[in-house]
Amino acid sequence: MSTLFAFLPVVSLVAIPSVIVKLAGHLTGTKLSWQHCFVFGAIVALISVIGRVMSKVTGQGLPMPLALLFGAVMNVEWRLVF
């Protein structure tokens, strides 16, 4: 039973952004499939983990130019999906 609880943070890391994007799409009247929402959630989770690993390895926070680059990539990719 404890292994089931070990996967809970990983699932919530992807599920929470996915549900927020789905809710935002619903509130704005945009049709979003769950597949697109979960892909977006997985990308956000991956970038978060990479940023955290880089922060631990370098001993400092994510540099601003790199953070802006990640944001731009997310924006471009999100527009390409739709």
What pTM value is reported for the model? 0.64
pLDDT, one tens digit per residue, over 34-52 is: 998 888 888 888 887 887 7
- As given in the structure block, the two tokens for residue 32 are 């979003």
- In the chain (82 residues long), the average pLDDT of successive 10-residue segments reads 78 85 85 87 83 78 71 67 56
- As given in the structure block, the two tokens for residue 40 are 């977006």
Angle (CA) 14-5-33 rounded to 5° is 25
